[in-house]
């Protein structure tokens, strides 16, 4: 990584590089496992190498870092003060790739669920969020708010907003 990062970004970055076993992802995995769900992780043959794959529910989950995946409006997503164009472009590329992967997965019949790290950051909101996540996985036909504006970056993240997107392919 380049030297233009602040130490805060650097540590965020390192967590992201270390990568696949970052904490937010482990939190989600542990919870789902404790609820009896069985899944595969980091499935490389699927677009975007989804973090968690639940074949039984035809569902994939991405646990996304707010910085690298450009969580617009999120307090964990702030572009560095220097080299702003560089970072902007980099993050935009990541976001575009996420959108592409999601479309490909949906075309293959997968339901795509996104989890932002900020949503499970604090223990207080985590439990409720994970419960809802579980319910959505096991009740795919139950009606729920579907976030389809993943590529609409004008949407601000509200603490209470539900960042689940995807479709049940009914």
Residue 114 contacts residue 64 (beta carbons within 8 Å) = yes
Site string for Zn ion, 20-59 (x = CB under 5 A): ----------------------------------------
In the complex with Zn ion, which residue's Cβ is closer, 104 or 162?
162
Helix (H, G, I), strand (E, B) or coil at 136: helix
Q: According to CB under 5 A, which one of 71, 114, 130, 166 is a site residue for Zn ion?
A: 71
Q: What are phi and psi of 61, to 5 degrees?
A: -125, 130
The verdict on 66 binding Zn ion (CB under 5 A) reads: yes
Q: Interface with Zn ion by CB under 5 A: which range of 12-20, 22-30, 50-58, 65-73?
A: 65-73
Contacts by 146-152 with C-beta closer than 8 Å and gap 24+? 147/114, 150/98, 150/99, 150/102, 150/114, 151/95, 151/99
Q: According to CB under 5 A, which one of 116, 129, 136, 150 is a site residue for Zn ion?
A: 116
């Amino acid at each position: 990584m380049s030297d233009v990062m602040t130490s805060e970004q650097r540590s965020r970055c390192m967590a992201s590089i270390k990568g696949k076993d970052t904490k937010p992802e482990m939190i989600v995995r542990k919870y789902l496992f404790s609820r009896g769900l069985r899944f595969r992780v980091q499935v490389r043959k699927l677009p975007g190498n989804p973090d968690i794959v639940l074949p039984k529910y035809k569902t994939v989950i991405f646990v996304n870092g707010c910085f690298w995946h450009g969580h617009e409006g999120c307090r964990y997503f702030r572009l560095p003060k220097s080299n702003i164009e560089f970072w902007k472009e980099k993050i935009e590329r990541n976001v575009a790739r996420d959108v592409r992967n999601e479309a490909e997965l949906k075309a293959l019949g997968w339901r795509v669920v996104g989890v932002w790290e900020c949503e499970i950051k604090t223990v207080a909101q985590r439990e409720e969020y994970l419960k809802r996540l579980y319910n959505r996985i096991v009740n795919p036909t139950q009606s729920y708010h579907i976030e389809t504006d993943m590529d609409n970056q004008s949407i601000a993240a509200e603490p209470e907003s539900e960042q689940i997107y995807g479709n049940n392919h009914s």
